[in-house]
Amino acid sequence: MPFYRLTAVQTLFSVLLFCGLFLLYLSFGAIHIPISDILALFKAYFVGGSELALTEQPLASAVVLHIRLPRACAAILAGGSLALAGACTQGLFRNPLASPDVLGVSAGSSFGAVLAIVTGFSFMNPMWLPIFTTVGALAAAAVIYLLASRHASTQILFLILTGLALSSLLGGARMGLLLMAQQYEMSQFVFWAMGGLDGRTWSQLMWPAPIIVVVSALLLRECRALNLLALGEENAHGMGLNIKKTRLKLLMFSTLLTAMSIAVAGPIGFIGLMVPHLVRLIVGPTHEKLLPFSALFGVIFLLACDLLGRWIIAPNELKVGIITSFIGGCYFIALIIRFQRKGSFV
Amino acid sequence: MSSALLIVSKLGYNAGEKTLLSDISLSIQAGELVGIIGPNGAGKSTLMKCLSGFQKYNRGEVLIKGLSLTKLSDIDRARDLSYLPQYSETAFPFSVMETVGFGFHVQQQTQPMSAKAIAAKTIEALTLVGIDHLKDRSITALSGGEKQLVHFARLLVQGAPLMLLDEPTASLDIGHESQLMNVLYQQCQQGKSALVAIHNLNTAAEFCDRLILVEQGQIIAEGKPSDVLTKANIHRLYQDFVIVSQHAETGNTIVSPYRK
């Protein structure tokens, strides 16, 4: 089958999968809303706004528009940005198993979260928590980059080592803070650290959403740079790529996307590593295909995991971070077995 | 001299305290195929890295078509100068077609190219190098020599008038080595120029218009192959582990290993 036709089939399949999953996500829950009602609700909303939607579909309007839709949007934003950040990091580090965690973003955001909790900011207003995690993540990434690129050679190895060192430092500081924290503060941190989408409101998505959309769009313009970089830095340089500028740009993009996804959903493991890796096996390694499909599958994967978490012990819920960690761990073990058999991770 | 494609004057490079290159001056005219020879660790690869702009040099000046290498933008430099490093490890399993197609990056900056045009020109380059049968294979699954040939084809499609190649034949069998050098020779006959770091002195003598002999970061001889590959020079560099003779038919210098 020619490649372009394969891509058309893959695109159609993925989009249909997404639409089906999205409707199922909105329909399923403690109060079942039939899919026909959801479609009628959307129609009413687009024709006559929220007032018409409320009069025509009062129940669906309350449940879908105010509870499930913001949660679905949070899943879409976090899943898409994590998978894109992962694809970008793997391209940047020229390693099919790299993950944005390497950049120290996770350690920075966790430290920010603990700080917000023990200083009491997160009790004054829940909005402070994502702000603290974002600032922590970006500050950690900035320190790592500045330390690693103090000399002209901004070598990838230095980035990884500095990331490890700073993660260790921040991890120690976080433990120290937690030791002094109250019992309820500790449990609030543990709860946050699981990563979840429950209780998301529109106002919580207002500021991360535009950043995610803009950075994703900018990242999608770097497909060719990522392709050239994959051939090795000397080759990419020979073909006219500015290595230093490109690397800084890609680092910024993946850091911002990861930080925003943490602001939306807390730390959710393994999507950034697993989704791009899996997508590369399906659509191939060229980034013109890899990036958009990774974003789409990141969205599908997180929606599916959260749906599973809401369904598996209904009427209670499992945090989505637990589900992704579990699936991610299994995927990783399968990869190791595959490597032992075939001798290749890609 | 003013029409030279590449002029290097008094180039020097230090890594920390250690001087790796000093006082390197050379020039390359359009249509020339110039070989850089010298023992392991002489500084051939370092010189290639400096000339390609990948490694910043400490002293001296490199001019490409009269413009300073350090002042050219990356795209402008790549338009006039292409570079094939000694080792290329591709991170992801691109197909051979895709890998060679990335070589059109510079040309695509000025005018968009259709996928069809790229594919046609890619096949043309693969055929020229003799590896069109590999076109649908994944680059990561190829042997070291095959990978090298794919990257050579990518260098050809980039179309720069000056090509820097760092030991392009190191992992090739003798047939492919000769084929690569023949393609390079033809390119230079058509007006392109190439600077090739090369280990095999016989190949260097056969194909190059001029040889530059480097030892300990300095040029110690330069000129026609027969003037550079003298018994005295070769014994100085390789001690008495090699034997120098004359080819019965071509009259070229032959250097071969020798059992003492």
Residue of B nearest to A245 (CA): B74
Whether B92 sits inside 8 A of A346 (CB atoms) is yes
Rounded to an integer, what distance in angstroms lies between the CA atom of residue B96 and that of residue B100? 6
Range of the domain at B131: 6-257
* Whole-number percent of chain A with pLDDT over 90: 32
The pLDDT of residue A26 is above 80: yes
pLDDT band at B81 (very low <50, low <70, confident <90, very high): very high
The pLDDT of residue B186 is above 90: yes
Q: Measured between CB atoms, which of B54, B90, B155 is closest to A237?
A: B54
Q: What number is the average pLDDT over the span B108-120?
A: 89
Six-digit token string for B181: 């050098």
Note whether residue B31 is domain-resident: yes
The pLDDT of residue A147 is above 50: yes
pLDDT band at B102 (very low <50, low <70, confident <90, very high): very high
Whether A344 sits inside 8 A of B49 (CB atoms) is no
Note whether residue B59 is domain-resident: yes
Q: What number is the average pLDDT over the span B104-126?
A: 91
With beta carbons under 8 A apart, name residues in chain B contacting A286.
94, 98
| Mean pLDDT computed over every residue of chain A | 86
Note whether residue B178 is domain-resident: yes
Residue of B nearest to A92 (CA): B91
Give every CB contact of residue A173 below 8 A, 6+ residues apart in sequence.
A111
A1: closest CA of chain B, how far (Å): 13
Six-digit token string for B22: 């000093």
Six-digit token string for B105: 């990056």
The pLDDT of residue A116 is above 70: yes
Note whether residue B195 is domain-resident: yes
Q: What number is the average pLDDT over the span B176-195?
A: 93
Rounded to an integer, what distance in angstroms lies between the CA atom of residue A87 and that of residue A70? 26
A221: closest CA of chain B, how far (Å): 14
Element (H, E) at B220: strand B218-223
The pLDDT of residue A2 is above 50: no
Q: A153 — contact with chain B (CB < 8 Å)? A: no
The pLDDT of residue A293 is above 60: yes
The pLDDT assigned to A54 comes to 79
Note whether residue B1 is domain-resident: no
Q: Which residues pair with A95 in a beta bridge?
A: none
Determine the distance from the C-alpha atom of residue A88 to the mean position of all C-alpha atoms in its chain, rounded to a whole number.
Answer: 12
The pLDDT assigned to A1 comes to 37
B219: closest CA of chain A, how far (Å): 24
Among B163, B162, B238, smallest CA distance to B201 is for B238
Six-digit token string for B226: 């027969």
Tens of pLDDT, residues B49-74 = 999 999 889 899 999 998 999 999 99
The pLDDT assigned to B1 comes to 44
* Whole-number percent of chain A with pLDDT over 70: 95
Tens of pLDDT, residues A219-274 = 999 999 999 999 998 999 999 999 889 988 998 899 899 988 988 888 887 898 89
The pLDDT of residue A143 is above 70: yes
Q: For residues A2 and B7, which has the higher predicted lDDT (pLDDT)?
A: B7
Residue of A nearest to B52 (CA): A238
The pLDDT assigned to B254 comes to 83
Whether B85 sits inside 8 A of A232 (CB atoms) is yes
Alpha-carbon separation of residue A92 from A97, A225, B36, B86 (angstroms) = 11, 10, 33, 21
Rounded to an integer, what distance in angstroms lies between the CA atom of residue A207 and that of residue B138? 43
The pLDDT assigned to B195 comes to 96
Domains of chain A in sequence order: 79-342 (1.10.3470.10)
Helix (H, G, I), strand (E, B) or coil at B191: coil
The pLDDT of residue A4 is above 60: no
Q: Measured between CB atoms, which of A232, A242, A285 is closest to B74?
A: A242
The pLDDT of residue B192 is above 90: yes
Rounded to an integer, what distance in angstroms lies between the CA atom of residue A50 and that of residue B145? 66
The pLDDT assigned to A194 comes to 83
Q: In CATH, what number is assigned to the domain containing residue B195?
A: 3.40.50.300
Among B179, B91, B103, smallest CA distance to B138 is for B91
Number of structural domains found in chain B: 1
Tens of pLDDT, residues B133-168 = 998 999 998 888 899 999 999 999 999 999 999 999
The pLDDT assigned to A244 comes to 86
Residue of A nearest to B83 (CA): A238
DSSP single-letter state for residue A306 = H
Tens of pLDDT, residues A77-91 = 999 999 999 999 999
Rounded to an integer, what distance in angstroms lies between the CA atom of residue B187 and that of residue B184? 5
Helix (H, G, I), strand (E, B) or coil at B89: coil
Six-digit token string for A224: 């060719």
Q: Measured between CB atoms, which of A224, A231, A237 is closest to B90?
A: A231
| Mean pLDDT computed over every residue of chain B | 90
Q: Please state whether A98 falls in left (phi above 0), alpha (psi between -120 and 50) or beta.
A: beta
Q: Which residues pair with B82 in a beta bridge?
A: B163
The pLDDT assigned to A8 comes to 83
Q: For residues B78 and A145, which has the higher predicted lDDT (pLDDT)?
A: B78
Interface test with B, best of A235, A245, A281, A288 (most B CBs within 10 A): A235
Rounded to an integer, what distance in angstroms lies between the CA atom of residue A61 and that of residue A43? 12
Q: Which residues pair with B11 in a beta bridge?
A: B24
Whether B56 sits inside 8 A of A231 (CB atoms) is no
Q: What number is the average pLDDT over the span A7-18?
A: 89
- ipTM of the complex in this document: 0.92
The pLDDT assigned to B249 comes to 81
Q: B159 — contact with chain A (CB < 8 Å)? A: no
Could you give the residue ranges of the DSSP H alpha helices within chain A? 3-27, 35-56, 58-60, 69-92, 105-118, 121-124, 128-148, 156-180, 183-193, 202-205, 208-220, 223-230, 233-238, 243-265, 271-283, 287-312, 320-342
How, if at all, do strands B210-215 and B33-37 pair? parallel
- The residue behind tokens 């922590």 is A136
Element (H, E) at B63: strand B59-64
Q: What number is the average pLDDT over the span B225-229?
A: 87
Whether B88 sits inside 8 A of A232 (CB atoms) is yes
Tally A–B CB contacts below 8 A. 91
Lowest mean pLDDT among A271-280, B199-208, B239-248: B239-248
Q: B85 — contact with chain A (CB < 8 Å)? A: yes
Whether B88 sits inside 8 A of A152 (CB atoms) is no
Note whether residue B241 is domain-resident: yes
Note whether residue B137 is domain-resident: yes
| CB-count burial class (<10 Å; 0-12, 13-18, 19+) for A115 | buried
Rounded to an integer, what distance in angstroms lies between the CA atom of residue A116 and that of residue A110? 10
Note whether residue B42 is domain-resident: yes
pLDDT band at B85 (very low <50, low <70, confident <90, very high): very high
Q: What is the side-by-side strand order in the sheet with B6-15?
A: B18-28, B6-15, B59-64, B67-68
Please report the residues numbered 24 through 43 in chain B whose beta carbons come closer than 8 angstroms to any beta carbon of chain A.
none
The pLDDT of residue B17 is above 80: yes
Residue B141 identity: A
**If you write DSSP's letter for every residue of B133-190 in order, what string do you get?**
GGTTSBGGGS-HHHHHHHHHHHHHHH--SEEEEESTTTT--HHHHHHHHHHHHHHHHT
**If you write DSSP's letter for every residue of A50-117 in order, what string do you get?**
HHHHHHH-HHHIIIIIIIIHHHHHHHHHHHHHHHHHHHHHHHHTT-TT--GGGGTHHHHHHHHHHHHH
Determine the distance from the C-alpha atom of residue B180 to the mean position of all C-alpha atoms in its chain, rounded to a whole number.
Answer: 11
pLDDT band at A154 (very low <50, low <70, confident <90, very high): low
